[in-house]
């Protein structure tokens, strides 16, 4: 038996569209990260980007459980002393609902150049309109 390794010419990318309405954030992010990495395909190779493109619609209607809506905080740092900035889930949801899903999915991808290539195949929209109709995306259930 030999270990299979995918070649760049063998990778066929599909487009999937996901509706985030009333779907828990973590469940959505883990499923989308799996598709972006290509783990749902039999040709998955850890050192290659074999994943598909994903379009997420209705990001403003994603759901979180428990007290996360009130308690969850998002942090970033400017790399200067005292440069820690924080924003709550509720404020970020009102301001940029797409960013919540992007951060959740990005945290589940590899933290290297391969993960950045996978992340570029993600598109998130706060409502039900998107501009990728020409790619004929298939609906994906979560």
Domain boundaries in the chain?
A: 14-64+90-139
35 within 8 A of 108, measured Cβ to Cβ:
no
For the segment 13-20, the average pLDDT, to the nearest whole number, is: 97
Q: Indicate whether 31 pLDDT > 90.
A: yes
For the segment 114-138, the average pLDDT, to the nearest whole number, is: 96
Fold of the domain spanning 14-64+90-139: Ribosomal Protein L13p; Chain: A; (3.90.1180)
Neighbours of 52 (CB within 10 A): 21
How confident is the model over 1-15, as pLDDT tens digits? 888 899 999 999 999
97 within 8 A of 62, measured Cβ to Cβ:
yes
- Mean pLDDT, the chain, integer: 96
């Amino acid at each position: 038996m030999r270990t299979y390794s995918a070649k760049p010419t063998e990778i066929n990318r599909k487009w999937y569209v996901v509706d985030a309405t009333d779907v828990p954030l973590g469940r959505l992010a883990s499923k989308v990260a799996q598709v972006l990495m290509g783990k749902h395909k039999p040709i998955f190779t850890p050192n290659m980007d074999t994943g598909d493109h994903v379009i997420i619609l209705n990001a403003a209607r994603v759901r979180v459980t428990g007290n996360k809506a009130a308690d969850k905080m998002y942090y970033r740092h400017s790399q200067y002393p005292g440069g820690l900035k924080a924003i709550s889930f509720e404020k970020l949801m009102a301001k940029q609902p797409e960013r919540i899903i992007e951060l959740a999915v990005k945290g589940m991808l590899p933290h290297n150049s391969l993960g950045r290539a996978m992340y570029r195949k993600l598109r998130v929209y706060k409502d039900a309109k998107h501009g990728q109709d020409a790619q004929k995306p298939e609906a994906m259930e979560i």
